Amino acid sequence: MISVPVALGERSYDVLVGRGARHRLLEVLPVGAVRAAVVTQEAVPVHVDAGIEQRTFLMGEGERAKDLETVEGLCRQFSRWGLTRADVVVAVGGGVVTDTAGFAAAVYHRGVAVVHVATTLLAQVDAAVGGKAGVNLPEGKNLVGSFWQPAAVLCDTEVLETLPPEEYRSGLGEMAKYHFLGGEDLEDCNLDERVARCVGIKAAVVAADEREAGRRAILNYGHTLGHALETAGRYDLRHGEAVAIGLLFAARLAERLGRIDDRRVNEHLRVVEGYGLPTALPADTEVERLVELMSRDKKAVGGLTFVLDGPCGVEPAGGVSRADVEAVLKEMST
């Protein structure tokens, strides 16, 4: 078992990575918790034993369930059951579950402890770690949320063996991102080590910038276009696949702006292709619609803002012209 600390002072916690990590749940529950509200989905084939009184609360499937209506429903059920601020919410599932249950925990009674049992590769390497919880609006992804650090995160790599291939591939999109955030050695690691390495990279960034005042924005590398593709709702892409396309878009945009050279763009292409992820936009891409959606991104302040590679590494870059963005999008969709 690999333990990765997330150093945040009194809010610090550990992420446990390895086969059977889900069975360590009782060890990581907050001291004094009497009840555990287990939030999961019908399709999640993972069961946990909190070792205290627990009740399971099901939420809907897919991104459509990651909304304010679901959060309200969960909070009302918590109230009817009698969950208190001294108890704990246990999120068992992928990023949709950890994001939604984490936000419900953050707002119920103004904050109840939460433990994440991440059951997908995407959740293990990214979504369940770092304390960003939130839900979508029709206008965009993750536009309503909060920072609410978990008490612990359990990444059981054994459960990844049951994931459908497309779900596993979605997680690889987030893993590809970490290659460009200091994870050049990921290709030399086994699965447990890869997950722990990604968590370690994210933990270091979060420890330095918990509330995304600056550097933490680099964790959104590839996500500006990725989120726009998802929000558009007309492309058959999972989150990690959309992020993979977003990584290549960001690389090409950075090259167009003179920030990186062709060699670095090809490195992005090699990594994304190596994970078997898509490398081009759908042929029927609506360029203007994607630009509109990207302008609503949370990072956008005073114009189009992206996280781009450059001489100093990956960093936020503002003031990008619409013409440059449209030109790269058109290149990638033909």
- Give dist(CA 126, CA 172) in Å, integer: 11
> Helix, strand or coil for residue 289?
helix
Catalytic residue numbers read 110, 132, 174, 202, 212, 216, 220, 223, 227, 239
- Give dist(CA 151, CA 148) in Å, integer: 10
- Give dist(CA 85, CA 30) in Å, integer: 11
User: Looking up tokens 């084939």, which residue turns up?
Assistant: 45
Q: Tell me, what DSSP letter sits at residue 260?
A: S
> Helix, strand or coil for residue 328?
helix
Mark 140-162 as b/e (b = at least 16 C-beta within 10 Å).
Answer: bbbbebebbbbbbbbbbbebbee
Is 333 within 8 Å of 287 (Cβ atoms)?
yes
Contact partners, residue 280, CB within 8 Å, separation at least 6: 245, 332, 333
